[in-house]
Structure 1
Amino acid sequence: EMENQTTGTEFVLLGLTRDHLLQRLLFTMFLIIYLIILLGNMVVMMVIRTDLHLQSPMYFFLFHLAFIDICYGTTVVPKMLVNFLVKGSITISINACMTQMFFIFLSAGCEVFMISVMAYDRYVAICNPLNYQEAMNKHFCYQLVVSVWATGLLYSVLNTVPVLNIQFCGHTEIKHFSCELPPLLSAACSGMFLSKLILLSSAVIFGSSSFLLTLISYIYIITTILKIQSAEGRHKAFSTCSSHFIVVGLLYITALVQYTKPKSVSSIILDQVLSTQYSILTPLLNPIIYTLKNKDVKTALSRI
């Protein structure tokens, strides 16, 4: 008998591959990646917390970005590693699936808005340096971080709760390596209209607002830097933003490909590659970029 309600439903995750040799290779690769995510971001957090030279708002926000990246990677990668070791069907309960999806949305929402907050911090530092300490005081910085987590939570709740009313038919296969909403909606029988509407609306509202905040900040930053007379001054100003430029570029280029790709090129493999960029490569690359491109962080690491 077909079961129509989500209650008691078990999903089958098709994963990246069912080839046993390739699974072992992918297990090793993603285990190394996950350890680098943990180690890299924990080192960034430790250095910022212990070094007296890294107590500015910029590094306060970087500390929280590193924490978000650990959460993001931990939400996705450990389940992938377990799946690579399973020889039979990879199943996940509805409760576990909803929990994973909730934290994926939470981490993604916090990531993009923390990037926007960091862009605003650089805007104040470069465009209004005389009032920087007053404008970015400790109380305001804490308010910004709380706002980031509140926005991420709202984004996650808005997208997760409607899924509880979706109807699935029996043993549902999800053509993905994790419980993300688009492949989950593709496997639904009925009741997915509201979730699709909220997913699209929230992506437009939350995504465009964070993008515009970041874009406007950087338009002012670049305009201000170009007005600096000396080449040394311009170089110094750009160097304080270069790592953030790269992180923003990676994040929004991936988003641009995800949301503007033609339906004709839509495929399971492409969607999984883009998802891997968001949930695995971004947490992996962020600490590497901020360490290699940031002179203060490299100096602090050398003092350990």
Structure 2
Amino acid sequence: MAMETEDPNQTVVSHFCLEGLMYTAEHPTLFFLLFLLIYSITLTGNLLILITVGSDPHLCSPMYHLLGHLSFLDACLSTVTVPEIMTGLLTVDGKVISFEGYAVQLYCFHFLASTECFLHTVMAYDRYLAICQPLHYPVAMNRWMCAGLAGLTWAVGAVHSAIHTSLTFRLLYCGPHHIAYFFCDIPPVLRLACADATVNELVMLANTGVVVAGCLLLIIVSYVFIMADPHRPGQRRAFSTCTSHLTVGPLYYEPPLCIYLQPHSGEAGAGAPAVFCTVVTPMPNPFVYTLRNKEVKRALQRLLGRGSRDPPAGSPPS
């Protein structure tokens, strides 16, 4: 399938064929069941957290508002990528996707991933204010400020993804149309471009340096300030509330650095960090934040009908 251009010797591809994940051809059913299990856990866990945060009046602080956004993003991010991977496991020749469909999925993936990247930074800022500026926290992170920061992460993520998508598909793709990859991303499709993709590669490197590394640096700085004063009252308990974020942060930021800073990150061999980033990372968030947070566990118990008593007044926050 191809569309003719003004040049009779050139055609523009109308579809791409994703060849799927490497090293899965011998046991596709096993890998299909594995990804189905991971996807089911991810979707169930994140939706449960989202419903709990949205329905329980005890979880009304900015931290839980941001956690709800994170759970929604993780559920959507997993839905954009994992079903496509599972579909590729069930077909012999890989998954055929239209040119427009590839562009839409690429936009959605980078929109959700970049929004989550910015959201992690806002969550670190929230913890810094709550711990280091407790007297100013109710004013500095009030209801409207929290909603505004969360909305800003979505808006910046949408613009960020639009720039990458438009730059990627301004190029001419005249064949081949087989992509040795398993979901719609920028590096593998750039390798098929029939034009100079230097600008795209430079923008991708700048994006990784400014956005991913920049957000990671801001998160590290926030927690350095939090831990700077070892004599701060309640600092040990405060650090305990931050360990969930510190656990998830490296899991989320390291794979993109591995993927997009490699000169040949579009090759199939780059699949390991990509699988970790798209499939594995969204799964532990519900467990990390729930298992280390007593308030969320109590809210889950109330939601599931296993607990009918609220925590005693004056009980220490998790």
Same fold (TM over 0.5): yes
Which residue is 1:288 aligned to? 287
Asked if 1:40 is matched to 2:40, the reply is no
Asked if 1:144 is matched to 2:164, the reply is no
**CA distance change for structure 1 residues 187 and 54 in 2, over 3 Å: closer, same or farther?**
same
User: In structure 2, the residue corresponding to 1:52 is in which secondary structure?
Assistant: coil
Conservation of the 8 A alpha-carbon contact between 2:13 and 2:175? no
Which residue is 1:14 aligned to? 19
Asked if 1:165 is matched to 2:170, the reply is yes
**CA distance change for structure 1 residues 136 and 20 in 2, over 3 Å: closer, same or farther?**
same
Q: Give per-residue Cα distances to partners, 1:201-223, cap 9 Å, x unaligned.
A: 22222223322321221111111
Q: Please show how residues 266-277 of structure 1 align to structure 2 within 5 Å.
A: 268=267, 270-277=269-276
Which residue is 1:278 aligned to? 277
User: In structure 1, the residue corresponding to 2:232 is in which secondary structure?
Assistant: coil
Conservation of the 8 A alpha-carbon contact between 2:252 and 2:281? yes
Amino acid at match of 1:284: M
Q: Please show how residues 47-196 of structure 1 align to structure 2 within 5 Å.
A: 47-196=52-201
Amino acid at match of 1:105: H
The structure with the largest helix share of the pair is 1
Conservation of the 8 A alpha-carbon contact between 1:113 and 1:210? yes
Conservation of the 8 A alpha-carbon contact between 1:123 and 1:217? yes
**CA distance change for structure 1 residues 177 and 6 in 2, over 3 Å: closer, same or farther?**
farther
Structure 1 residue 86 displacement after superposition: 1.7
Asked if 1:241 is matched to 2:246, the reply is no
Q: Give per-residue Cα distances to partners, 1:138-194, cap 9 Å, x unaligned.
A: 110111011101111111011100122212233422111011101111222223222
Amino acid at match of 2:243: S
Conservation of the 8 A alpha-carbon contact between 2:18 and 2:181? yes
Q: Provide the TM-score with structure 1 as the length reference.
A: 0.90
Amino acid at match of 2:246: F
Amino acid at match of 1:213: L
Amino acid at match of 1:16: L
Q: Structure 1: which 4+ aligned runs deviate by more than 6 Å?
A: 1-6
* Structure 2 residues not aligned, in runs of 5+: 305-318
Conservation of the 8 A alpha-carbon contact between 1:168 and 1:189? yes
**CA distance change for structure 1 residues 72 and 124 in 2, over 3 Å: closer, same or farther?**
same
Structure 1 residue 302 displacement after superposition: 2.2
* Structure 1 residues not aligned, in runs of 5+: none
Q: Give per-residue Cα distances to partners, 1:198-254, cap 9 Å, x unaligned.
A: 212222222233223212211111114x2326xxx2331111101011011212333
Among 182, 206, 209, the residue aligned to 2:214:
209
User: In structure 2, the residue corresponding to 1:91 is in which secondary structure?
Assistant: strand
Conservation of the 8 A alpha-carbon contact between 2:187 and 2:266? no
Identical positions, percent: 37
Amino acid at match of 2:49: V
Conservation of the 8 A alpha-carbon contact between 1:3 and 1:168? no
Conservation of the 8 A alpha-carbon contact between 1:106 and 1:153? yes
The 10-residue stretch of structure 1 (97-106 or 48-57) with the greater mean CA deviation from structure 2: 48-57
Asked if 1:302 is matched to 2:307, the reply is no
Structure 1 residue 270 displacement after superposition: 4.7
Conservation of the 8 A alpha-carbon contact between 1:57 and 1:136? yes
Amino acid at match of 1:227: H
Conservation of the 8 A alpha-carbon contact between 1:101 and 1:181? yes
Asked if 1:26 is matched to 2:31, the reply is yes
